[in-house]
Amino acid sequence: MKLTGVELHRIEMPLVAPFRTSFGTQTTRTSLLVRAVGTDSEGWGECVAMADPLYSSEYVDGAADVLRRFFVPALAAVERLDAAAVGPALVRFHGHRMAKAALETAVLDAELRAGNRSLSRELGAVHDRVPAGVSVGIMASVPQLLEAVGNYLDEGYLRIKLKIEPGWDIEPVTAVRERFGDDVLLQVDANTAYTVADARHLARLDPFDLLLIEQPLDEEDVLGHAELARQIRTPVCLDESITSARAAAAAIRLGACSIINVKPGRVGGYLEARRIHDVCVAHGVPVWCGGMLETGLGRAANVALAALPGFTLPGDTSASSRYYQTDITAPFTLIDGHLQVPTGPGIGVEPLQAELDAVTTSVERLAV
């Protein structure tokens, strides 16, 4: 297709409850949506950058700027544009993977809609539904945590992930195991809050039979993760450290992880996410799909990715109601602990205009 227009939609969606991690507390999700219009179709992508550069160096205003000044003009110059051409067209621009992912997804959605093909089929999905896990933020107290976990289990979630940080790790894990038993699939996520000097402390999590500990150390400390993996029994999973298929292959070879969390926005898009999946399958390393509090647009694409054969662990593909009272698409709901994989053209969902209008704070139309 030939790109004829791009729109940047800024939205603000209140969360149903504050979500606290080791890098801060969110009460509202500020997001940037990208709408790409071509000669015969249009598509949507969601940028997962946060409002502030806390989780990563990327943030919403920066993503909008690099899209406006560099990425969209570069794609506008491509006469025969498809999703596979986005990466090569943008490769000369360093970083900004979340912005690249949003634009590539919008082009991919448009391309697939024009051909009446679904993203799940395009990526190579083998399942029509995927098991859903839920991420539980840091709470004010252990009783509050236990109430939240109990509610999520009652809703049908098949896996519980606890956010941890120094001072909130051993006690909450102990309490959850004692209250809900050893059969609950349980894992923890540190969001880079520890150092390798904490290895002895983190080894105290070993008796709890966790699925994994996610990104315990700084994202650039791959060797530190390899050292930590030798000192604890709990499997180490990398998240923020995995930025590409090359990075995944290196981490696996170094012994820095035995499980990988794939977040398409973090790695530059769904095509690179599929390449990471393929690398992991070749090395016998399980993968699962992470989440970034996406709206239904991003959630639909994540669910399609999670239906690939190498995604053998439940991901953070929660129901829409986990984070939002009202989503901007038809809501994703749990059915026996699973989410249905969209089968419609493209990512399989579209924004509901009234719901989108209600949370939109600005729309910028870029000339191409």
Q: What is the CATH number of the domain that holds 15?
A: 3.30.390.10
Same domain, 99 and 172: no
Q: Is residue 345, in this structure, part of any structural domain at all?
A: no
Same domain, 185 and 204: yes
What pLDDT score does 22 carry? Answer: 78
Q: Which of 14, 60, 56 is nearest to 34 (CA)?
A: 60
Same domain, 148 and 58: no
pLDDT in tens, the chain (368 residues): 889 999 999 999 999 988 888 778 889 999 999 999 998 899 999 999 999 998 899 999 999 999 999 999 999 999 899 999 999 999 999 999 999 999 999 999 999 999 999 999 999 999 999 999 999 999 999 999 999 999 999 999 999 999 999 999 999 999 999 999 999 999 999 999 999 999 999 999 999 999 999 999 999 999 999 999 999 999 999 999 999 999 999 999 999 999 999 999 999 999 999 999 999 999 999 999 999 999 999 999 999 999 999 999 999 999 999 999 999 999 999 999 999 999 999 999 999 999 999 999 999 999 88
Q: Is residue 368, in this structure, part of any structural domain at all?
A: no
Same domain, 173 and 279: yes
Same domain, 309 and 167: yes
Same domain, 133 and 197: yes
296 vs 45: CA distance, rounded Å: 11
Contact 123, 304 (CB under 8 A): yes
Q: Which of 45, 26, 46, 29 is nearest to 37 (CA)?
A: 45
State both tokens at 323: 């984070």
Residue recorded with tokens 């729109």: 7
Q: In angstroms, how far is CA 157 from the centroid of its own chain?
A: 18
Stated length of the chain: 368
Q: Is residue 137, in this structure, part of any structural domain at all?
A: yes
Same domain, 140 and 255: yes
Q: What is the CA radius of gyration of the chain?
A: 20
Catalytic residue among 2, 100, 161, 163: 163
Q: Is residue 233, in this structure, part of any structural domain at all?
A: yes
Alpha helix positions (H), the chain: 60-66, 72-76, 83-90, 97-114, 119-123, 142-155, 170-180, 199-202, 222-231, 245-254, 264-267, 270-283, 296-306, 353-359
Same domain, 109 and 210: no
Rounded to the nearest 10°, the torsion over CA 211, 212, 213, 214 is -120
Q: Which of 96, 54, 55, 68 is nearest to 10 (CA)?
A: 68
294 vs 325: CA distance, rounded Å: 13
Same domain, 228 and 301: yes
Q: Is residue 16, in this structure, part of any structural domain at all?
A: yes
What distances in angstroms separate CA 161 from CA 169, 195, 199, 273, 278, one per listed residue? Answer: 12, 20, 20, 22, 25
Same domain, 100 and 124: no
Q: Is residue 147, in this structure, part of any structural domain at all?
A: yes
The CATH number given to whatever domain includes residue 128 is: 3.20.20.120
Give the total number of structural domains in the chain: 2
Same domain, 129 and 69: no
What distances in angstroms separate CA 285 from CA 211, 235, 260, 310, one per listed residue? Answer: 13, 11, 7, 8
Contact 161, 189 (CB under 8 A): yes
Q: Where in the sequence is the domain holding 15, given as residue range(s)?
A: 3-116+351-363
Q: Is residue 346, in this structure, part of any structural domain at all?
A: no
Catalytic residue among 2, 100, 161, 263: 263
Residue recorded with tokens 């986005």: 86
Rounded to the nearest 10°, the torsion over CA 324, 273, 337, 187 is -90
Same domain, 242 and 261: yes
163 is catalytic: yes
